Amino acid sequence: MPGLIHVKELWQDQAALDAHFASAHIAAWRAAWPGLGIGERDLRVYEVGAPRKT
């Protein structure tokens, strides 16, 4: 799909993610969306287990 961007991030815990979303730089980023042509977002959170050897 043209213009689709996938962003993947790893957060230590929910509290760290919540702090990130409440930060000033994220508020500024969200405020810039209309001027950048960014419309909807589809945020999904996945729980990931501990890494293991294959």
pLDDT band at 3 (very low <50, low <70, confident <90, very high): confident
Position 23 scores a pLDDT of: 97
* pLDDT tens, position by position, 34-49: 998 888 888 899 988 8
Scanning 1-54, the segments in alpha helix (DSSP H) are: 14-21, 24-36
How far, in Å, CA of 30 to CA of 45, rounded?
A: 19
pLDDT band at 21; cut points 50, 70, 90: very high
Residue whose C-alpha is closest to residue 10's, from 42, 50, 39, 41:
50
What is the overall mean pLDDT for the chain?
90
- pTM summary value: 0.68
25, two tokens: 């730089």
